[in-house]
Chains A and B, each alone.
Chain A
Amino acid sequence: MTAVIIGAAETDRVGVIPELSTMGLHLQAAANALADAGLTPADIDGVASIGTPGPVTIAHALGIKPLWLDGTYAGGASFLIHVRHAAAAIAAGYCHTVLITHGESGRSRVGPVPLVVEPWSVQGQFEVPYGVAGAATTFTVPALRFMKETGTTHEQLAQVAVVTRQWAQLNPRALRRDPITVDDVLASRMIAYPFHQLECCLVTDGGGALIVTSAERAADLPRRAPRVHLLGSGESSDGPVMSMMADLTRSRGFQLSSRAAFRQAGIGHRDVDHVMIYDAFAHVPLFGLEDMGFVGRGEAAGFVGDGHTAPGGSLPMNTNGGGLSYTHTGMYGMFAILESVRQLRGEAAAQVPDPRISVVLGNGGSFVVAGTLVLGTAEAAGY
């Protein structure tokens, strides 16, 4: 029995939404996903979300009487892990239809998720004293070692942002759509050497939601859009902080979560038609391509540079324009899943030709925790 995504939607707009709070973004996304599925809150008996506001509040606000709740917090990977946990809960009979929500007022900071590092935590004691100021100063630190070990150049790092922008140009909802060159990237403001502003993600407002049920129940429900099946999933973690990665040039979370997901799905890399790799910063997709096994050691930058991930390429990647150019609320993973769903339904803005299998890699924190989903069409799932 596979789990099936029967509802998927974003907030009406993404980008700059000062008129909606964090809570408002969650609820608008939830309402849109319910409408997408043709369901009402009475049809939902499981809720997964992260605090703030958390699944209890989301359930109550929508009048849902939940029989299953999941508040697993894994930063931007949370929602991939929620899909995985929801599939397990549905298979176990704990609930039959799960609503997963994300909303974040990352830019306008209306009713925001608090940005707090507990001063007694591993990060509070052993990173904060060194002047770290958000992901731009932690997530980025492994990059120079990765570049040295793999022979990746500054121009190749910039190229990731250039290719991602090519996808954004095809997506009217993307926040940044002007074409850019490698020179533009390298001339943009320095944020944390070697990272320039155009190699760092956007900071935006937005939300998204998913509705997951069993394939059996889905068969009895109105069919508003092609169903997207969960073929495999995985989750893992590296450590509480970037500086404790076992190897600064590889994410164990990326490796272990993707290995589990591919194994469960019973697929190989050649079966994958489309991929979303969390791109908070330009080096993360390079780690992802290597750690997931799409390319060998040191081949990721050349793979991107040769156009394989660009429009018309053999492995279309981050086709919504990614966190670099589409939107990045802070916990971007929901938007990566939603783009895979749109591609498999055939309704993406930058639609790739007839994808059957799409893989989503989510990251949480600065190489702290990861989740992978292998999604497929009904045909790919054998339905």
Chain B
Amino acid sequence: MAESQHRIVDVGPGKPEPMITPDTQPYWDAAARGVLSVQRCQRCLTAYFYPRPICPQCGGAEVDWITASGRATLLSYVISHRPAAGFTPPFVIAVVRLEEGPQMMTNIVGIAPDPENLELDMPLIVEFEKRGTACVPVFRPAEPAS
């Protein structure tokens, strides 16, 4: 497995799945291979997320897909006690910042949903939940560097 490929955990159907559009197809195709992919402007080199055809920094229309490292830090979160299809409350809804710069919503997995386990700015690593047809990126605390 290449370094940029990450673990895929089959959680089965039940949790919400995205309705994929042509603009977002490459992102979800990469996710299905365990790869986190974001776009980058060829002109100003800004990496950005969510997928869209125009660079939000400079307006450039020439954009690439790049493979993100999967490393991120925890920007903020809530521990939701609200019912949600496929989820067992309480669970963590977070916004994380990718090493490449963009931020995204995700779930934090691999820890009990307790503030003690969730320090802002903590390092995280991506993995993917296979939910029926789509693979959805989620994050777990990164292993300490050895």
Contact = CB atoms under 8 A, between A and B. Distances in A.
Interface string A132-154: 11101110111111101000000
Given A141-B94, A195-B78, A133 B84 contact: yes
Contact of A133 (B18, B77, B82, B106): B82
Interface stretch (B39-47, B64-72, B85-93): B85-93
A334 B104 CA distance: 32
Given A126-B50, A244-B50, A193 B105 contact: no
A267 interface: no
Nearest to B107: A130
B115 interface: yes
A122 B18 CA distance: 10
B78 A131 contact: no
Contacts of B105: 126-127, 130, 132, 141, 241-243
Nearest to B89: A131
Interface residues of A, number: 38
Greatest chain A CB density within 10 A among B24, B50, B84, B91 is at B50
B120 A145 contact: yes
A193 B90 contact: yes
Does more than half of chain A's interface fall in helix, strand or loop, or is it mixed? mixed
B14 to A, nearest CB: 11
A120 B21 contact: yes
Contacts of A144: 76-78, 120
Contact of B18 (A119, A241, A242): A119
Interface in B13-54: 15-21, 24, 50
A148 B121 CA distance: 11
Nearest to B76: A145
A193 B115 contact: yes
A260 interface: no
Contacts of B24: 125
Interface residues of B, number: 38
Nearest to A244: B50
Interface in B92-146: 93-95, 103-107, 115, 120, 131, 134, 136, 138
B80 A131 contact: yes
Nearest to B119: A148
A119 B19 CA distance: 5
Contacts of B104: 126, 243
Interface string A221-259: 000000000000000000001111000100000000000
Nearest to A197: B81
B8 interface: no
Contacts of B18: 119-120, 124-126, 128-129
A32 B87 CA distance: 45
B103 to A, nearest CB: 7
A191 B82 contact: yes
B50 A132 contact: no
Interface of A: 118-120, 122, 124-134, 136-138, 140-146, 148, 189-195, 241-244, 248
8 contacts: A124-B19, A128-B16, A131-B86, A132-B93, A132-B105, A192-B80, A192-B82, A193-B81
